[in-house]
Structure 1
Amino acid sequence: MASSALPALTDGDVVAVEKPPGPRWIPLLDAIWESGAAVLPIDHRLGADERDRLLRLGQPTVLVAGDETRRLDGSPAEPGTAAIVATSGSGGASRLVELSRVALVAAVTASAEALDATGRDPWLCCIPVAHIGGLLVLLRHVVLDAAVDVHRRFELDAVCGEQTAVFTSLVPTQLHRLLEAGCDLRRWRAMLVGGAALPVAIRDAASTMTRIVRTYGLTESCGGVVYNGRPLRGTEMRIADDGEVQLRGATMMRRYRLDDAATQTAFTVDGWLRTRDAGDIDGDGTLHVHGRMDDAISTGGETVWPLEVETVLGEHPAVDEVAVVGRDDDEWGQRVVAIVVPASGALPTLDALRGFVTERLAVYKAPREIIIVDRLDRTALGKVRRDRLPRRTSEE
């Protein structure tokens, strides 16, 4: 369907788009942006129940699905709203975030400044456009008039063989696959990597060929607004008394769609966005994120951050993937549990992994149990679905 098939749109219309990524997204997004309407991208891979839930939450006034376009009896957005985007849902059900045109333009222009990029620099989009990271790549065209090559999905050969784009945005799993395939990354000016923690070994290997930019942010902040630990222009960050990372700036969301209570909870009384991530800012002003506050493990009176332990365990040669969680324990309150996908042909043992961790970290951070699994369920952006992690050891 061409963008000309859209009905007449006005500021306040909410256009739900359920289409796979591809070149047709560019003229469609152009038309929605120029009309002043808001786009609500719906991941075309969702099951019927989740799709219907997002449509109920989003209350769109127009639906574009496949080659069909129709008006709906929805709820208009506040004028100036340009996008309504689902959160990643790594811990459960997604929310819908309302982002203003001003916020999205601020995010794109601040990123361009940090990357020394202009509208003459082409981009590749190979991550889902229904999430903020992919949508922001498309908005490089809308805001900067940059050429954007939109791939339907991430394919190694296509990305390795890309001859035009000089910037792209990836999740760590994709970068890892590019390295494993022996792709030459030297032609890229920079690769933004976000959506999940970037293992140090992957970052270091890729950095020998191109500029790797670790991004930090949320859907609620218009995506990554902290690059390699430093905030983009216009973004402020602070650490609250309880260790929470908080953000403020022009890119922050307006609200959660039709959810005033959740919106009020998302901001402090003085207007900072509560990320629910724990972290610290060092003496050089660099942010270090420890992980989700809800994921913290309290064991024997000590606090363990899963990300720190996962980073170490991920370097063990017998470990391909790992997630660290806390499980209830009568003696310790919680025990540290490592859920491990073994490397090919390997079978890691608890003693081996505990010994490996205690060489680098305090002994109380070492796992007291391991669970061997074939795979870790992840979101489209590569985040582990912690709500789907197994709770019992396979050895019981």
Structure 2
Amino acid sequence: MREAWLDGSAESVAELTRAVADALDGGPAVLPLNAKDPSAKALRDAMAPEEPVEPGTAVIIATSGSTGAPKGVLLSASALRTSATATHARLGGPGHWLLATPAHYIGGLQVLVRALLAGTTPAVLSGDGFRPDDFAAAAASLSTVDGPRYTALVPTQLVRLLDSPAGLAAARTFDAIVIGAAATSAQLRDRAADAGVRIVPAYGMSETASGCVYDGVPLDGVRIALDGDDRIRIAGDVLAHGYRRQPELTAESFGGGWFRTSDRGRFTEDGRLQVLGRADDMINTGGVKVSAAAIERVLGAQPGVRDACVVGVPHPEWGEAVVALVVPESGACDGGDLCAAVKSELGAACAPKRVEFAAELPLRGPGKIDRMAVRDRLTTEIIP
């Protein structure tokens, strides 16, 4: 196993790219890690790099996920290549990529794989944090290339670009911007379209070698099904072949050529997959089960709301109370109006018992909302 420690520099990304190219050609498996993450060493140790790697593994994506338990997703060269090839076919052909998300996560690593298969050198947004001016400078390095230009972002990054004149101008130069890692709200879709920015919302995870459903439609070779509880299942050559040193978890999640996700979904009238949220986001309040994701969609559609996270917190009467942390636009939002909007659309049980406001939502990983942090914050005051 070859460890690749990323420190935010273009040099460390180049080293990882060379290691991935070697792994795709049959070389040692690569374990990308974040050198600036204090917990990375423990994550690395959990991957047991001194022990033999499971056969057929090209890359191990190590993550602690939402539970905090270390997990290493085993991806073959075939899965990575299949995903990258299908992505190019959906977007408009091989092109030039800008890496703007961390490459130790699958979304960033697949940018490198796509560039390798396209025979192009990716532009790299190096350094710490995400600043629209830096993105614009990195995008400018692709201004003279021939062929399509692509990048992959998370919703939070897209919002920052849309808020910045320089960032917006740069975003408009891309033939497609893949948006993944977290749900893209209808409001953000409309805002990007109105601004002349072509985004392609993607659904996927490390276990599917990155996004495998683009704008509700599976990539070529990918199949989607729903279990009886609306749990999403995915099949196809993009699938990982298990988890590092966790045969029980592998057997639980993978079987018969399918991967059973932790997400619920439904098919719209035109056959597109709509992801409804995680199966464990249900809140049991007063004996009624309500979906946090459904409430978030209603809140996110209200005027003046930029983002929202809904969780359940302990309550002496209701068991769990529905509470919301909302990020407003530049103006102020009225919590009472937001609760009324949810009640009107989804019913009284779904209306938050409390709404708090914040400048931004806490995040973990590549743009995913840290629901544990939100729950901890909103549990500090038990609702009477």
In the superposition, relative to structure 1, how do residues 115 and 210 fare at CA in structure 2: closer, same or farther (>3 Å)?
A: same
Would you say the 8 A contact 1:88–1:381 is kept in 2?
A: no
The aligned residue for residue 248 of structure 1 is 235
Would you say the 8 A contact 2:315–2:382 is kept in 1?
A: no
C-alpha separation between the residues in 1 aligned to 2:25 and 2:113? 12
Shift in Å, 1:31: 3.9
Shift in Å, 1:28: 4.1
Would you say the 8 A contact 2:54–2:244 is kept in 1?
A: no
The reply on whether 1:176 has 2:159 as its aligned counterpart is: yes
The aligned residue for residue 51 of structure 2 is 75
C-alpha separation between the residues in 1 aligned to 2:380 and 2:114? 45
Work out which of the residue numbers 4, 11, 27 in structure 2 matches 1:36: 27
Shift in Å, 1:343: 4.5
> What is the one-letter code of the residue matched to 2:161?
L
The aligned residue for residue 71 of structure 1 is none
State the superposition RMSD in angstroms. Answer: 2.3
Work out which of the residue numbers 326, 345, 350 in structure 2 matches 1:360: 345
> What is the one-letter code of the residue matched to 2:339?
R
Would you say the 8 A contact 1:372–1:394 is kept in 2?
A: no
The aligned residue for residue 371 of structure 2 is 386
SS in 1 for 2:369: coil
SS in 1 for 2:7: coil
In the superposition, relative to structure 1, how do residues 174 and 277 fare at CA in structure 2: closer, same or farther (>3 Å)?
A: same
In the superposition, relative to structure 1, how do residues 88 and 138 fare at CA in structure 2: closer, same or farther (>3 Å)?
A: farther
C-alpha separation between the residues in 2 aligned to 1:141 and 1:321? 32
Matches within 5 A, 1:208-247: 208=194, 209-247=196-234
Matches within 5 A, 1:1-396: 14-21=1-8, 22-23=10-11, 24-25=14-15, 26-34=17-25, 36-47=27-38, 50-60=39-49, 74-87=50-63, 89-118=65-94, 121-153=95-127, 154-161=130-137, 162-163=139-140, 164=142, 166-182=149-165, 183-184=168-169, 185-208=171-194, 209-268=196-255, 270-344=256-330, 346=332, 348-349=334-335, 351-373=336-358, 375-389=360-374, 390=377, 391-393=379-381
Question: 1:57-112: CA deviations, max 9, x gaps?
Answer: 2222xxxxxxxxxxxxx012134311000246234334110101111111111111
Would you say the 8 A contact 1:313–1:322 is kept in 2?
A: yes
Question: 1:35-62: CA deviations, max 9, x gaps?
Answer: 5211110012211xx22221112222xx
Aligned residues with identical type, % of pairs: 35
SS in 2 for 1:247: strand
Shift in Å, 1:123: 0.6
- Judge which range, 365-374 or 92-101, deviates more: 365-374
Would you say the 8 A contact 1:104–1:251 is kept in 2?
A: yes
The aligned residue for residue 69 of structure 1 is none
Shift in Å, 1:240: 0.1
> What is the one-letter code of the residue matched to 2:150?
F
Structure 1 residue ranges without an equivalent (≥5): 1-13, 61-73
- For normalisation by structure 1, the TM-score amounts to 0.85
In the superposition, relative to structure 1, how do residues 31 and 253 fare at CA in structure 2: closer, same or farther (>3 Å)?
A: closer
Question: 1:205-262: CA deviations, max 9, x gaps?
Answer: 2123132111001111111000001110111111100110111111111111011111
Question: 1:12-53: CA deviations, max 9, x gaps?
Answer: xx1111122425233343344445211110012211xx2222
Shift in Å, 1:345: 6.0
C-alpha separation between the residues in 2 aligned to 1:367 and 1:302? 13
Would you say the 8 A contact 1:86–1:219 is kept in 2?
A: no
Would you say the 8 A contact 2:222–2:234 is kept in 1?
A: yes
SS in 2 for 1:360: helix
In the superposition, relative to structure 1, how do residues 304 and 313 fare at CA in structure 2: closer, same or farther (>3 Å)?
A: same
- Judge which range, 184-193 or 144-153, deviates more: 144-153
Structure 2 residue ranges without an equivalent (≥5): 144-148
In the superposition, relative to structure 1, how do residues 311 and 383 fare at CA in structure 2: closer, same or farther (>3 Å)?
A: same
Aligned residues: 364
In the superposition, relative to structure 1, how do residues 144 and 374 fare at CA in structure 2: closer, same or farther (>3 Å)?
A: closer
Question: 1:338-370: CA deviations, max 9, x gaps?
Answer: 123455563643x22211323433332211122
